[in-house]
């Protein structure tokens, strides 16, 4: 029996996340993995197990200490995941996943997902526990099911549940790795073409959220061509042509009253996005994949740019600095081409990607240009990726949007390996 398991943003690398904390080094959000082994208990009860590993080498221009002429040399363990799925009744299932959430600092095995599932039919289902917050496609793809290895460390600003690596109650965390504690109602209609997910979560814990308001999250998608087939409300960044011709447009929104800022100057957070995936099998059996994401994030209320600017760079994750979510617009577009001819044991898939971030207030914009080649051995289960990136995200970061942030555009190379079973 095949068991599907999903997860999301992982492996944050210490450089990008504002010099002191961590950045999404290439692990991301939702992944659906085929369990390596299934143990049948009776006609309705079973347990499945799976494993996932992502490891990379990255070298970045001018990042070797104080010598700006040297390139850094970083070996990274981005994700080590254990997937456990089970069914206890025809309509009742459970999912438990772990990950090494602080891999760059030695590593700690932590709970990634812990979900109790009531799955009655394709139209209405309920998940409760710790799970992915419905959001943009990149989040729902996760690190293992995105087409690009560096999807987070070189991507658009984080959503609230990604902002901090660990779940804390001091006003600096609204979840971790895209997960939060809550409940999601999801399903599909019109021959599975219309897909939806509505969630309710804890969101920001403490700090600005003095009234203990909950986070609301929604995602609605429409499949114009072949309906995407994924576990729950998760998605994939590419199907390598195995899913037929895909054209899906999605909209998502997250909102939390007092979901940003500090207790003395709270702000109401709203994060809205639109994403598009097109995958077309060409007459020569090659596969063309185009993906685009747009974000528009706003914060209303007392939280202002002046409050954000008063926080020192090294203290962005301290309780006194609050929850400094991004405000502004961001774009992420990519194109991939999978050649139909095998080379050795795999297929060649070159790609191009561009990311642009335009924050409100006085903070400067930032850009990332990326090109790479994937060597696809067994779909999302075995991929080797080599990429080159140029831009100023590595120097300006993905969480620091104070007015005085500066940084040069630099080059970096990464070689990443992904295995799962």
pLDDT-derived band at 337 (thresholds 50, 70, 90) equals very high
In this model, does residue 364 exceed pLDDT 90? no
Residue 23 has what pLDDT?
Answer: 31
Mean of the pLDDT values across residues 194-217?
96
> What's the pLDDT score for residue 299?
93
Whether residue 6 is predicted with pLDDT greater than 50 in this model: the reply is no
Average pLDDT estimate for 224-252: 95
pLDDT at 1 over 50: no
pLDDT of 64 reads: 57
Please give the pLDDT value at position 36.
Answer: 67
Dihedral over alpha carbons 296, 138, 337, 12 (to 10 degrees) = 110
Percent above pLDDT 90 for the chain:
63
Q: How many CA atoms lie within 13 A of 115 on its CB side?
A: 29
Domain 4-420 maps to which CATH number in 3.30.460.20, 1.20.1290.10, 2.40.160.10, 3.30.10.20? 2.40.160.10
User: What distance in Å separates the CA atoms of residue 239 and residue 27, rounded to the nearest whole number?
Assistant: 18
Q: Residue 13: pLDDT above 80?
A: no
Q: Which residue has the higher pLDDT, 73 or 273?
A: 273
Q: Is the dihedral of CA 21, 24, 25, 30 positive or negative?
A: positive
Q: What is the 3-state secondary structure (H, E, C) of 57-89?
A: EEEEECCECCECCCECCEEEEEEEEEEEEEEEE
Mean pLDDT of 350-354: 97
Mean pLDDT on 192-217: 96
Q: How confident is the model at residue 321 (pLDDT cuts 50, 70, 90)?
A: confident
Tokens 């986070």 locate to 215
**Helix/strand/coil for 340:** coil
The answer to whether 392 touches 411, Cβ cutoff 8 Å, is: no
pLDDT confidence of 412, banded at 50, 70, 90? very high
Express as a percent the part of the chain with pLDDT over 70. Answer: 88
Residues forming beta bridges with residue 292, ordered by sequence position: 276, 333
What pLDDT band is residue 303 in, cutting at 50, 70 and 90? confident
The structure's pTM equals 0.86
- Comparing C-alpha atoms, which of 278, 304, 307, 306 is closest to residue 293? 278
Query: Three-class SS of residue 33?
Result: strand
Alpha carbons 186 and 248: distance in angstroms, whole number = 17
Domain boundaries, the chain: 4-420
pLDDT score recorded for residue 324: 87
CB atoms within 10 A of CB 229: 14
- Residue pair 161/179 in contact (Cβ under 8 Å)? The answer is yes
Cα radius of gyration (the chain):
20
The mean pLDDT value of the chain amounts to 87
| pLDDT of 373 strictly over 80 | yes
The mean-pLDDT minimum among 149-158, 305-314, 385-394 falls in: 305-314
Residue 319 has pLDDT above 80, yes or no: no
**406, pLDDT greater than 50:** yes
Which letter does DSSP use for residue 98 in this model?
Answer: E
Which H or E run includes 140?
Answer: helix 137-141
- pLDDT of 16 > 60? The answer is no
Supply the pLDDT for residue 399. Answer: 84
Q: Which of residues 108 and 200 earns the better pLDDT score?
A: 200
Output the pLDDT for position 315: 73
Per-residue pLDDT band at 381 (split at 50, 70, 90): very high
- Please tell me which residue, 339 or 155, carries the higher pLDDT value: 339
> Quick one: which H or E segment has residue 318?
none
Scan for tokens 């609301």, then name that residue: 216
Mean pLDDT of 57-77: 78
pLDDT tens for 24-50 read: 333 333 334 445 688 889 989 999 999
For the ranges 180-189, 280-289, 307-316, 396-405, the lowest mean pLDDT is seen at 307-316
Residues with Cβ < 8 Å from 28, sequence gap 6 or more? 8, 9, 10, 138, 139, 141, 142, 143, 146, 151, 152, 178
CA atoms within 13 A on the CB side of 126: 7
Residue 305 has pLDDT above 90, yes or no: no
């Amino acid at each position: 029996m095949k068991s599907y398991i999903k997860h999301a943003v992982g492996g944050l690398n210490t450089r990008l996340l504002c010099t002191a904390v961590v950045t999404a080094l290439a692990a991301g959000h939702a992944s659906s993995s085929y369990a390596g082994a299934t143990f049948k208990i009776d006609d309705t009860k079973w347990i499945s197990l799976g494993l996932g590993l992502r490891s990379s080498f990255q070298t970045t221009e001018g990042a070797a200490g104080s010598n700006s002429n040297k390139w850094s040399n970083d070996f990274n363990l981005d994700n080590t995941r254990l997937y456990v799925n089970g069914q206890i009744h025809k309509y009742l299932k459970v999912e438990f996943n772990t990950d090494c959430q602080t891999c760059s600092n030695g590593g700690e095995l932590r709970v990634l997902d812990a979900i109790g599932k009531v799955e009655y039919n394709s139209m209405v289902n309920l998940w409760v526990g710790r799970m992915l917050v419905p959001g943009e496609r990149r989040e729902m793809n996760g690190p293992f099911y995105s087409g690009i290895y560096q999807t987070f460390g070189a991507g658009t600003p984080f959503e609230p549940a990604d902002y901090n690596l660990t779940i804390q109650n001091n006003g600096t965390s609204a979840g971790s790795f895209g997960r939060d504690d809550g409940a999601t109602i999801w399903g599909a209609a019109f021959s599975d073409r219309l897909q939806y997910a509505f969630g309710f979560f804890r969101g920001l814990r403490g700090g600005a959220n003095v009234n203990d308001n909950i986070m609301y999250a929604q995602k609605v998608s429409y499949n114009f061509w072949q309906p995407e087939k994924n576990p729950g409300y998760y998605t994939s960044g590419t199907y390598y042509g195995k899913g037929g011709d895909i054209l899906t447009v999605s909209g998502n929104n997250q909102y939390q009253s007092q979901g940003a800022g500090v207790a003395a100057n709270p702000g109401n957070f709203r994060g809205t996005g639109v994403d598009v995936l097109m995958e077309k099998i060409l007459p020569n059996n090659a596969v063309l994949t185009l993906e685009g994401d747009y974000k528009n994030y706003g914060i209303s209320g007392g939280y202002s740019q002046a409050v954000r600017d008063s926080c020192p760079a090294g203290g962005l994750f301290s309780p006194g600095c609050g929850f400094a979510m991004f405000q502004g617009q961001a774009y992420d577009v990519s194109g991939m081409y999978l050649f139909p001819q095998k080379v050795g044991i795999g297929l060649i898939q070159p790609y191009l990607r561009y990311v642009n971030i335009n924050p409100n207030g006085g903070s400067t914009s930032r850009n990332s240009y990326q090109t790479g080649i994937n060597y696809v051995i067994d779909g999302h289960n075995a991929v080797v990726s080599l990429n080159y990136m140029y831009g100023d995200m590595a120097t300006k970061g993905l969480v620091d949007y104070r007015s005085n942030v500066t940084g040069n555009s630099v080059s970096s190379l990464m070689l990443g390996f992904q295995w799962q079973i």
